[in-house]
Amino acid sequence: MLLDLKSILEKGVQKKQVRVVVCEGWDERCLQATASVQHLVKIVLLGNPEEIKKKVKELKLNINKAEIIDYKNSPLKDELAKKLTELRKSKGLTLEEAKKLIEDENYFACVYCHAGYANAVAGSAICPTATLMRPALQILREKGKIVSEVSIAEDIKNDRTLFFTDASLNISPSPEELAQMALNAAECARDFKVIPKVALISFSTKGSGGDGPEIKPVLDALRIAKEKEPKLIIDGEMQVDAAVSPNSAKKKCPNSPLKGEANVLVFPNLNTANVFAHSMLQFSEMKYAFTVLKGMQHPVAILGRSTPLETIKLMLLSCAMQVNAK
């Protein structure tokens, strides 16, 4: 069944108020989104206060519940620079270098969140994704976990919501990494109150493609994931139709616990996942809702330079819901 994502998110943020720091607080879409969600989420906007207030006035918005921080002149700069130095001292970062980095809104936001002043970070509304991902991975990465992106897609034709991974970050994951990506995606589904049914995707279904070197990592990942979460409904290797079509599953893998009802698709590498993602958008009625990063100590939302306003609203709420889900 197609999920009512907006209702789920709005309900999921009501446990406790969450502070989300927005790196590029002067971005027009971020300001419009702030005006819409500020009654549910505490938004902290980084940027020049006068510039932001001027733009808010031009847009005729009310963001009176949001906080604006002039990060270039913040009294927290020295404290955050010291924390960044401590975090990166093994990499040779000096205090002087850290002070320069804190002048960047992305580094400021990530250290600000790490220091406990916010619960989540949202950015890359203007800058390239890598500009935010670099400090996010350096500062907010969860120790011992691979960071993976989970895409949430709405399959209008078949009235269902699917979670799939990873179309952006991990190029050629090892079996251990692939297993963790599967567990990350399953966790994401649970955040949305969905019982995950995970399929490890391949060009082969249960041996139909032979026992070549492309299939073994998928089978190893299946074994590792089962060892880590024995109760998880997961199976592989299988083709997409065997994973999501009950009719195909009856013919290709009748004994699979998924029964052709997988709602989480884990692709074996970035090449496969990215081709699927772009083909899906071009040749089907499916559409992206938004993406979630898993494997972080705190939620990080990659907003995107061309992301529609409504999606940005959902991503800000998603940050808050993820905090409340822990």
Structurally, what CATH architecture does the domain formed by 5-141+296-325 represent? Answer: 3-Layer(aba) Sandwich (3.40)
Tokens of 58: 């031009």
Higher pLDDT, 222 or 324: 222
* pLDDT value, residue 143: 85
| Mean pLDDT rounded to a whole number for the chain | 94
Q: Which is more confident, 130 or 224?
A: 224
The answer on pLDDT for 326 being more than 80 is no
Query: Which residue in this structure is represented by tokens 């880590």?
Result: 228
> What pairing do the DSSP bridges indicate for beta strands 120-123 and 19-22?
parallel
Domain boundaries, the chain: 5-141+296-325, 148-288
pLDDT band at 248 (very low <50, low <70, confident <90, very high): very high
Q: Which of 52-66, 177-191, 247-261, 279-293 has the lowest mean pLDDT?
A: 279-293
Q: What is the pLDDT of residues 117-143, one digit of tens each?
A: 999 999 999 988 889 999 999 999 988
- Most confident stretch, 139-143, 171-175, 277-281: 171-175
Question: How far are the Cα atoms of 7, 65, 215 from residue 207, in angstroms, in the given order?
Answer: 41, 57, 9
* 127 Cβ contact list (under 8 Å, min separation 6): 23, 24, 106
Answer whether residue 247 shows pLDDT above 90.
yes
Q: Which one is predicted more confidently, 127 or 178?
A: 178
- pLDDT above 80: residue 233: yes
Domains 5-141+296-325 and 148-288 share a fold: yes
Q: What is the pLDDT of residue 325?
A: 84
φ, ψ of residue 162 to 5 degrees: the values are -120, 150
Strand order in the sheet with 300-302: 67-69, 42-46, 19-22, 120-123, 300-302
CA gap 128, 60 in Å, rounded: 28
| pLDDT range class, residue 105, cuts 50, 70, 90 | very high
Averaged pLDDT, 4-27: 93
- Token duo for residue 171: 């190029």
Q: What is the CATH T-level fold of the domain 148-288, as seen in this structure?
A: Rossmann fold (3.40.50)
* Predicted confidence (pLDDT) at residue 293 exceeds the cutoff of 90: yes
- Distant-in-sequence contacts of 209-217, Cβ < 8 A, 24+ apart: 209/237, 214/268, 217/174, 217/175, 217/178, 217/268
- 3-state secondary structure at position 258: coil
What's the pLDDT tens digit per position in 188-218? 999 999 999 999 999 999 999 888 889 999 9
- Report which of residues 278 and 227 the model is more confident about: 227
Average pLDDT rounded to a whole number, residues 91-102: 96
